Chain A
Amino acid sequence: MNLTERKDVKTIPIIEMNDEQLMDASKNFLLSLKLNEMKTIQEHFLKLERNPTDAELETLAQTWSEHCKHKVFNSSFEYVENGSSENIENLFKETIKKSTKEIMQKENWLVSVFEDNAGIISFNENFDIAFKVETHNHPSALDPYGGASTGVGGVVRDILGVGLGAKPFANTDVFCFALPETPKEKIPKGILHPKRIFKGVRAGVADYGNRLGIPTVNGAIFFDQRYLGNPLVYCGTLGIIPKGFHQKSPKQNDLIVALGARTGRDGIHGATFSSAELSDSTDSSAVQIGNPIEEKKFLDVLLKARDLKLYSSITDCGAGGFSSAVGEMGEETGAEVFLEKVPLKYAGLKPWEIWLSESQERMILSVPEKNIEKLKQLCNEENVEATVIGKFTNDKKLKVFFEKDLILNLDMNFLHKGLPKSKLKAVWNSEKEKATQFSEPENISEILKQILSMHNIASKESTVRLYDHEVQGGTLLKPFMGLTGEAPADSSVVTPVLGEKKAVAVSNSLNPWYGDIDPYWMAFSCVDEAVRNIVATGCEIERIALLDNFCWGSPEKEENLGKLVRTAKGCYSASKDFNAPFISGKDSFYNEFSVNGKIISVPGTLLISAMAVVKDVSKILSPGFKKAENLIYLTGNTFEELGGSAFAHLINDSNGKVPKVDSVKALKSYNALSKASSHGLVKGMHDLSDGGLGVALSEMCFAKNLGAEIDLKKIKTGENISRNDFLLFSESNSRLLVEVEAGKEKEFEKILKGTDFSLIGKVSKEPVLKITGLNGKKIVDQKIELLKNAWRKTLKW
Chain B
Amino acid sequence: MLVEVGFRNGKFDALGESVKQSIIEDLNIKTIEKVSYSEGFLLPESFSQKQAEELAVKLFHDPINQIFSVNSPVKKDSSFVITVQYHSNVTDNVGIAAEEGIKDLGFEFKKNEHVRSLKKYYLYGSLSEKEAEEIASGLLANKLVEEFDVKKC
Contact = CB atoms under 8 A, between A and B. Distances in A.
A797 B90 contact: no
Interface in A126-148: 142-146
B26 A196 contact: yes
A502 interface: no
A335 B96 CA distance: 32
Interface residues of B, number: 19
Given A143-B144, A192-B142, A289-B86, 18 more contacts: A142-B144, A143-B142, A144-B142, A145-B142, A193-B26, A195-B26, A196-B139, A265-B89, A266-B90, A266-B91, A284-B90, A284-B145, A287-B144, A287-B145, A288-B91, A291-B93, A293-B97, A347-B112
A345 interface: yes
A345 B88 CA distance: 12
Contact of A797 (B25, B86, B97, B142): B25
B145 A143 contact: yes
Interface string B94-137: 00110000000000000010000000000000000000000000
Contact of B91 (A145, A192, A359): A359
30 contacts: A142-B142, A142-B144, A143-B142, A143-B144, A143-B145, A146-B145, A192-B142, A193-B26, A193-B138, A196-B26, A199-B22, A264-B91, A265-B89, A266-B90, A282-B144, A284-B89, A284-B144, A284-B145, A285-B89, A287-B90, A287-B144, A287-B145, A289-B86, A289-B91, A289-B93, A291-B91, A293-B97, A347-B112, A359-B91, A797-B25
B89 to A, nearest CB: 6
Nearest to B26: A195
Interface string A263-295: 011100000000000000010110111110110
Which 10 A/B pairs are nearest by Cβ-Cβ distance? A289-B91, A291-B93, A284-B144, A142-B144, A143-B145, A287-B145, A143-B142, A264-B91, A195-B26, A266-B91
A144 B141 CA distance: 12
A50 B89 CA distance: 35
Interface of A, secondary structure class, is: loop
Nearest to B91: A289
Nearest to B146: A143
A143 B89 CA distance: 15
B91 A345 contact: yes
Interface residues of A, number: 27
Contacts of A294: 93
Interface string B2-30: 00000000000000000001100110000
A195 B89 CA distance: 27
Nearest to B90: A289
B151 interface: no
Contacts of B89: 265, 284-285
Contacts of B139: 196
B87 interface: yes
A484 B27 CA distance: 33
Interface in B25-41: 25-26
A293 B144 CA distance: 24
A196 B144 contact: no
Interface of A: 142-146, 192-193, 195-196, 199, 264-266, 282, 284-285, 287-291, 293-294, 345, 347, 359, 797
B4 to A, nearest CB: 22
A285 B87 CA distance: 11
A200 to B, nearest CB: 8
Contacts of A265: 89
A286 to B, nearest CB: 9
Nearest to A383: B100
B112 to A, nearest CB: 8
Contacts of B142: 142-145, 192
Contacts of A266: 90-91
Interface string B67-86: 00000000000000000001
A287 to B, nearest CB: 5
Most chain A CB within a 10 A radius of its CB, from B22, B25, B87, B93: B93
A290 B22 CA distance: 24
Contacts of A193: 26, 138
Nearest to B134: A184
A48 B133 CA distance: 57
A604 B139 CA distance: 30
A687 to B, nearest CB: 33
Contacts of A192: 142
Nearest to A282: B144
Most chain B CB within a 10 A radius of its CB, from A265, A284, A293: A284
A195 B24 CA distance: 13
Contacts of A289: 86, 90-93, 145
Nearest to B92: A289
Contacts of A284: 87, 89-90, 144-145
Contacts of B92: 289
Contacts of A290: 93
A266 B88 CA distance: 12
B145 A196 contact: no
B137 to A, nearest CB: 10
A240 B93 CA distance: 29
Contacts of A291: 91, 93, 96
A738 to B, nearest CB: 40
B25 to A, nearest CB: 6
A195 B139 CA distance: 10
